Amino acid sequence: MLQAHHRTFTGTIRLADAALLIAACWVTNRFLSGAFVSVSDAGLLVQSCLVLVCWFVLGERLDLYQSRRTENLFRELQSLGEAVVLCMGLVTILALALHRGVAFHPVTASLLGFAAIAFERTAVRGLLRSLRVRGYNFRYAVIVGCGRSGEVLAATLRGHPQYGVRLLGGLRLPGENGSLPAGVRDLTDVGNLRSILSEFAVDQVLLCPSHEAKSGNLLEVFNLCDLAGTPCHYAPSFFSLRGVHPSVAWYGNLPAFAFSTGDGSPLRRMVKRSIDFFAALIGIVILSPVLITIAVVIKLTDRGPVLFRQTRVGQFGRPFACLKFRSMCMNAEAKLAELRAANEEDGPTFKMKDDPRVTKIGRLLRKYSLDELPQLFNVLLGDMSLVGPRPPIPSEVEEYDWWQRRRLSVRPGITCIWQVFGRNRVPFERWMEMDLQYIDNWSLTMDMKLLARTVGTVVKGTGC
C-alpha cells in the first residue's frame, strides 16, 4: 500500500513539473516576441510533447523522483535546475532539427519553468514536513552496526522530526565492541535481522558498521535486505570524517566509492574553472600594455631573459613551469645555497627581506606583486587558478609533513588567504593551516572576497 501511494504521489509530482515547464514554454510563445523562427501552433504542440518526453526521461535518468525527505532543499533545487537546463537544451536542438525554429524562448522559458517548479517543490516539501511533524507520512528504519555514522544518523533523525523517519532499534554486527547509539532500542545482534524484517514494517535498513566489522557480515546484511525487498542504506563510519566528500565512480559496470577533499561538486568546479579562464583572458588583454612595458624595462636594464620559468608542484603533485617576470640576477638559483643560513622563514621555504639576488627593477616588481602577472598565462592553461594555495617548489614538498600535502589536492593559485592576511608575518605551519582553511571552506564568494582584498594589497605595495 505504501509503495502504491508513493507511486501515485511521485507520478502526480512528475506530471505537475512537466506541466509547469510546458506552461512556461506557452507563456513565452504567447507574450514574448522574437522567437528564432515563427512556428505554427501545431509546431508548438509537438515541441510541448518533446518537453514532456524529455522531462520524463531525464527524471528517470537523474533520479529526480526518489525520496528526498532527508535531503536539504538546496541539493534538490540544484538537481532540478540541472535537469531543466538539460531538458530545454535537448528540446531546442530537436526543435531546430525538426521545425527549423523554436516555438518558445529557451532561456526565458527555462528560468520561468525552474522558478515555477522550485516554488511548487518548496510548497510540497513544506506541507509534507508539516505532516511528518504531526505524526503522518513517516517511515520505520533499523540501524545495523555500532559505527560512528550510526550515532550521527540517530542524532540527525531525532533532531529533525520533519524527516519522518523513526528508528525501531539497532543491531550489532559480529566482532563489534562498541555500543549502539544512545537512545536506540537494543535489538541484540544481526542474527535477528531476518525475523525483524519479517515481523515489522521496516522501510529501510541503515547499515553503519564500525571498523571491527568484517566485509562478509556486511554482505549478509545486503543479501537479507535484497531477499526481503527492503532498501539498505550503507553509511561507513569514515563518511563522517571532516572534509571528506564521497561520490560514486564507475569502472565499467563496477561502482566504487570515490573520496575527495575540498568541494566535490563538478558544477562548482566547472564554474570556478570558467571564471579563471575568462578572467585570465580578459586580464591579459587589459594588462597587455603593462606586461609589454615591464618586459621592455627588464630587457633594457638587465639584458637577460624577461621571464623566469621555475618548476613548481601543482594539483596532485604534478610539476609545471610557473611563469614570473624575472626579478633576480641571472644565477639566482646557484646562489641560493650560499644564503640558506640567512633564511628568515621557518619550514622548508626560503624568505629573506634584503635578498642580494633581487635586482633594482625586481624590488619594485615584488613590492607591487607585478612579477606574478605572467601567471595569468598559467591560469589560462589550467596549471593554476586565480585563487588557491601558492604552488611550492619540489624541494619544499619533499620536506612537508604528511598533513601538509593536502594543500596539493586543489589547483594552486596566484593569491590565497596567506597572501592577503599573512604574507611574511606568519610562521610556516600557520601558513599551511590557512591554505587548508581555504580548501575546507572554499566557495565562489570567498574567491571574490580574496581577489578584492588582493587588489588592495597590491595597490598598497605590501608585497615581499
Containing 398, the helix (H) or strand (E) segment is: helix 394-398
Distance in angstroms (rounded) separating the CA atoms of residues 406 and 428: 15
Task: Report, as an integer, the average pLDDT of 113-129.
Answer: 92
Taking only the tens place, the pLDDT of each residue in 20-29 is 999 999 888 8
**Do residues 118 and 80 touch, judged by C-beta distance below 8 A?**
yes
Task: Report, as an integer, the average pLDDT of 305-321.
Answer: 92
Helices (H), 32-142: 41-61, 73-99, 106-133
Reported for 401-407, long-range contacts at CB under 8 A and 24+ positions apart, including other chains, are 404/432, 406/261, 406/436, 406/439, 407/432, 407/435, 407/436, 407/439
Task: Report, as an integer, the average pLDDT of 75-86.
Answer: 90
Q: Which regions of the chain carry the CATH code 3.40.50.720?
A: 139-240
Taking only the tens place, the pLDDT of each residue in 430-460 is 888 888 888 888 888 889 999 988 887 777 6
The reported pLDDT for the residue numbered 99 is 76
The reported pLDDT for the residue numbered 453 is 87
The reported pLDDT for the residue numbered 5 is 61
Q: What is 139-240's CATH number?
A: 3.40.50.720
Task: Report, as an integer, the average pLDDT of 27-51.
Answer: 74
Residue, of 122 and 67, whose pLDDT is higher: 122
Tell me the pairing of strands 319-325 and 307-313.
Answer: antiparallel
Query: Is the pLDDT assigned to residue 345 strictly greater than 70?
Result: no
* Number of other CB atoms surrounding residue 63 within 10 Å: 10
Per cent of the chain over pLDDT 70 is 86
The reported pLDDT for the residue numbered 71 is 84
Taking only the tens place, the pLDDT of each residue in 224-274 is 999 988 999 998 876 655 556 677 788 888 888 777 665 556 777 888 999
Confidence of residue 403 (pLDDT cuts 50, 70, 90): confident
Tell me the pairing of strands 204-207 and 139-144.
Answer: parallel
The reported pLDDT for the residue numbered 224 is 92
Query: Is the pLDDT assigned to residue 368 strictly greater than 90?
Result: no
Q: Kindly state the cell numbers that stand for 428.
A: 610556516
**Do residues 265 and 325 touch, judged by C-beta distance below 8 A?**
no
Query: Is the pLDDT assigned to residue 422 strictly greater than 60?
Result: no
Placement of cell 564500525 in the chain: 210
Query: Is the pLDDT assigned to residue 295 strictly greater than 80?
Result: yes
The reported pLDDT for the residue numbered 222 is 93
The reported pLDDT for the residue numbered 1 is 41
Distance in angstroms (rounded) separating the CA atoms of residues 11 and 65: 9
Rg (CA), the chain: 29
Distance in angstroms (rounded) separating the CA atoms of residues 277 and 288: 16
Task: Report, as an integer, the average pLDDT of 296-302.
Answer: 87
How far is CA 204 from each of CA 42, 144, 197, 221, 275, rounded to the nearest angstrom? Answer: 47, 11, 10, 12, 42
pTM above 0.75, yes or no: no
| Most confident segment among 259-273, 344-358, 370-384, 448-462 | 370-384
Confidence of residue 74 (pLDDT cuts 50, 70, 90): confident
φ/ψ region of 223 (left if φ > 0, alpha if ψ in -120 to 50, else beta) reads alpha
The reported pLDDT for the residue numbered 36 is 47
Taking only the tens place, the pLDDT of each residue in 132-179 is 888 888 899 999 999 888 998 999 999 999 999 999 999 999 988 888
Distance in angstroms (rounded) separating the CA atoms of residues 359 and 91: 61
